[in-house]
Amino acid sequence: MERQADGDKPVGSVKQCDSAEEPGSPPLACELEGSPQQEEHSMMKRNDHYLPVSGDEKNLDGDFANSNAGSNVSIPLKNLYADDGSPLHRLGPYFSDGQRRVDYVLVYNIQKPGSVRRRSARFGENNFVRRLRRSLSMRSSRAPLQPKEDPEIAAQDLRPDNSDYDNRSKREEFEENLLETGLELEKDEGSKIPGIGFVKIHAPWNVLCREAEFMKLKMPTKKVYEVKQGSNVVEKIRLFIHKVTAPLHPKVDANRPQSVKSLSHPFSREKQHLFDLSDLDKFFDSKTRSSIVYEVLKRTKCTKSKCPMGITSLLANGYYTAAYPLHDGDIEGVSAEPNDRKLLYEEWASYSVFYKYQPIGLIRKYFGEKVGLYFAWLGVYTQMLIPAAIVGVIVFLYGCATVDDNIPSMEICDPRNNITMCPLCDQACSYWKLVTACGTARASHLFDNPATVFFSIFMALWAVLFMEHWKRRQMRLNYVWDLTGFGEEEEDHNRAEYEFKVMDKKMHKENSNPEGEKVKLTCIDRMPAYLTILVTMCFMITVTFVIVFGVILYRISIKAALHISDYPAARSNIRATVKTTAAIINLIVIIILDEIYANIARRLTIMEVPKTDKSFEERLIFKVFILKFVNAFTPIVYLAFFRGRLVGRPGNYLYVVGSYRMEECAHAGCLMELCIQLCITMLGKQLIQNNLFEIGLPKLKKLLRRRKSELDSKEEEELNKTLQRHEKDHILGPFVGLSPEYMEMIIQFGMVTLFVASFPLAPLFALLNNIIEIRLDAKKFVMELRRPIAAKARDIGIWYNLLRGLSKVAVIVNAFVISFTSDFIPRLVYQYMYSPDGTMHGFVNHTLSYFNVSDFQPGTDPLQPMHLGYKVDICRYKDYREPPWSSSQYELSKEFWAILAARLAFVILFQNVVMLMSDFVDWLIPDIPKDISLQMHKEKILMVELFMKEEQGKRLAARDNHNQDNYNSPSSAYQSPPQPRSRPVSHANYS
């Protein structure tokens, strides 16, 4: 569509030189034209166009026709006027001529004159658009982690107050430098968004070719080859599954044969004949064009100041307020032209297609490899959750089916076992019957049964299979996306804040530093920041521990308060009330601290001043992961491993903060409370963070905007139709990176794997959440965010290491949960060592110790000792201790040490067996699929053959030229001297 000749002669600021270069060759050096227009440059009016838009719009066709005369690659422009003679304006991503595509947009603030600011109240478009942008500039409620892709978010906190003249002069210098690189610019200060100016950037063909060669972009050649499928059993099964699930695949790339692939090669202007250049507009797609322009923007500097400033520095200083590529077009409306964005909305971002696979290829084509890899990973993770959820449901159903056959719970629920238990708190609590814990014991069996051990082993192997499956899927995508040779050798540009610090250091040491010595930030320069970060991180982790301890005190105090309450309803189910309310409080605290910690971590990372965007992102991810992991899992770890073990015994309890007695577990163990905490945390985080923050808040903002707007829905719709593409995209929210999305899934992966022994339904909840999450993220990327800068990536980076580390830790954690949190090991020890008949009969009595109530410490015995209607002399409590009539009364018994030894032995055995099985599975499954390995080898052979044929063609052409020179040698004796390689012919001529 952008049919513009490479050699278009600019009118106004830049003078381009006509040349007889080959298509795609770099333009000759051109200088800025010293015309009076330069003096008026700072007084440009609205809709002034940089180049090559002609100033006389009445003769646009003639000007372009004349300017195209000197171009080698002549691409005729379409008529810029309609049939009735009116100017033809397109609302798509194009310049005002309707032909050249806008590849990138820079946004800046402009000073409006007072007369322009006032508008009619009836057509209050400015007020509406301002509110529209404010309400729709959605920022993720989860912590906005610093991205590598979007320079607009680079350094919002370091924007000094610069005068309008300084801003304009900096922008003019930067834009002049962009013009010198060959880019074409067009200004638009007459937009419907008040106080905002736009610089639209277009990259002509010669610039695209030059930069593609510099960036070593792999582009498809004319050579295509057949992709043969593997013949082994695994590939046949994969093809069979692909055919069976054909209705679940999105309807994209329907005309593209799946068995044919183009041979790709790094683009070279000298080898343009290898590439299919039949349609120059589609050779570089919009994603590639915007990434090329972004590379030029990063490389271009303002050199008049002491410290060169690139686009990141200009954005950080407020010279520009935003920089972004444009979406392809609209997605709604009858008049919306077909485009990739609309296709993504229909086949990916709609909830009606939740059951279909994701169009990963189209996502990569539109958003880039990095975003494509995230959604591919999320799809693989969600897909792998299906078997885990099915097995988890089976384990849960097994618990439901066997609850009536569970002997320990039957003994607890049997009223004939008249077991009197010791008080659960001092004074306020009285003695109680064990039969009252019947409901808790039966519920605990749903999650604490022999199938739990099997499920823990299964989930450990599942995590390994998931990681192996993803590695193979990643290698397949690398092959399909031509990323097999992509490396990290390209330069990573410095961040704006780092340049500021270096400039500041250079100014302070200008006299002491010898000339030519490179100034950089050292560890000594960063030492105050490092100390601040260390102290702050320790303080925030301490805050998390203190809050968890506060919830513990809440449970202790509310339990005592409910025991002395006069309301029967409050005293009827004290345990369930305390557990549920404490879990909800923990959830609220976790969500609030997540937001606070993420913002603090970002400020600490800015204080650290990393040199590059990659370093910034990795350091920020590390800090946020530590804080969020500690925040989410500290209450769970306490319930799993510490509660009920730091209690003491009746008559010698452990007290904290004065008179607060540490809380005990229920008779069936703390596994049920751990399950409640995990369930509420998982469901709460998913419902609140996903539904409330990502769905509810944007809808609430939209509702408030409509109520405040002076326009009705029809006027609002009409105004939206008149906005240009760059204006519509400016209203959208900025892209803040993929780190918040990854972080949410990593924490969920920890919930699914770390404590799955206590909550087999966790994979099911994660699966249901991810089905919604995929479409929610898709809708956000397509409709509510600006288009991100396409970034190449071969893998998911540091996130894979975090996943692998969590899968290893999960084996150890589940081993300890089974051994120390559940009653699995005590039941086994009793059944095979202490049971008289080899069954579980008598297990409950075996786990209870005796206590003489006369041994209570003064002031701790119950205030109502006759609560049960009779005097209690001996009460029972859950522990393995000697009875009061023993010579070593209340000491730990030999059963305790036997069970402890069995628990430790199980941890060691479980860990080593599962690790060995995991390593075997890892070794058994190759990282690279066999068919992909063969195809990559085939590509190398075909590439060698292609270049060999090219060399043979050159030799044949040279031989034909040689023969032709010999044939024409008599008649060419008086022609210009021949080339050096034609010496035999020239020798004959001169003889």
Q: Enter the pTM of the model.
A: 0.79
CB neighbours of 66 closer than 8 A, spacing ≥ 6? 9
Q: Are 67 and 204 in contact (CB under 8 A)?
A: no
User: What's the CA gap between 287 and 358, in Å, rounded?
Assistant: 19
**What's the confidence (pLDDT) of residue 713?**
61
User: What's the CA gap between 619 and 604, in Å, rounded?
Assistant: 10
Sites in the chain below the pLDDT cut of 50: 1-89, 114-162, 254-255, 257, 488, 971-991
**What's the confidence (pLDDT) of residue 554?**
87
Q: What is the pLDDT of residues 71-83, one digit of tens each?
A: 333 333 333 344 4
What are the φ and ψ backbone dihedral angles of 825, each rounded to 5 degrees?
Answer: -70, -45
**What's the confidence (pLDDT) of residue 298?**
85
The amino acid occupying position 902 is A
User: What's the CA gap between 876 and 437, in Å, rounded?
Assistant: 14
Q: What is the pLDDT of residues 563-597, one digit of tens each?
A: 777 677 666 677 778 888 888 888 888 888 888 99
CB neighbours of 312 closer than 8 A, spacing ≥ 6? 151, 154, 155, 298, 493, 495, 496, 499
Q: Are 182 and 210 in contact (CB under 8 A)?
A: yes
Pure H helices in 697-855: 697-708, 713-722, 725-731, 739-754, 762-779, 798-816, 824-829, 843-847
Residue located via tokens 């022999």: 450
Residue 533: name the closest of 614, 622, 595 by CA: 622
Give the up-direction half-sphere exposure of residue 521: CA atoms within 13 A in the CB hemisphere.
Answer: 21
